[in-house]
Amino acid sequence: MADYLSPGQVVERSGFSLDTLRYYERIGLLDRIERGPGGRRRYADDDVEWLAVLRCLRDTGMPIAQMSRYAELARGGDSTLAERLALLEEHDRRVEQHIADLRAQQAHVREKIGWYRTVTPSAS
């Protein structure tokens, strides 16, 4: 018999809320979540691993539509490897650009900090 995790345990491990887990299941990002005897969701280790992938994609700003496309491709097996690679490479380019934009904004903030330090008598 496989070991299963309760929704509460998955919330703790994944950092996603129960509402997010249900939403992801409803829109197809999570599929085939098993149900226990009372109809309660129970999650396998593979589900938790998949949630870690979704967490990474979400935290790096991938839109839900692209996450859904990635999930669809992943369910397609090895025949979709090239498409998944292309999707992730495009996402990586967007992440890289976002980081560059943030660095430029950070430089601006640091310039302001420097200026305030020169005009504030008590600043060190």
Structural domains in the chain plus CATH codes:
7-119 (1.10.1660.10)
Average pLDDT, the chain: 94
Alpha carbon 66 to chain centroid, angstroms: 11
pLDDT of 2 over the 80 cut: no
The 3-state DSSP class for residue 29 equals: coil
Counted residue by residue, the chain has a size of 124
Predicted pLDDT at 14: 94
**Among the listed residues 95, 59, 44, 53, the one whose alpha carbon sits nearest the alpha carbon of residue 71:** 53
The 3-state DSSP class for residue 89 equals: helix
pLDDT of 124 over the 60 cut: no
H or E element that contains 42: strand 41-42
H or E element that contains 68: helix 64-75
pLDDT of 1 over the 80 cut: no
Mind listing the pLDDT tens digit for each residue in 9-49? Answer: 999 999 999 999 999 999 999 998 999 888 999 999 999 99
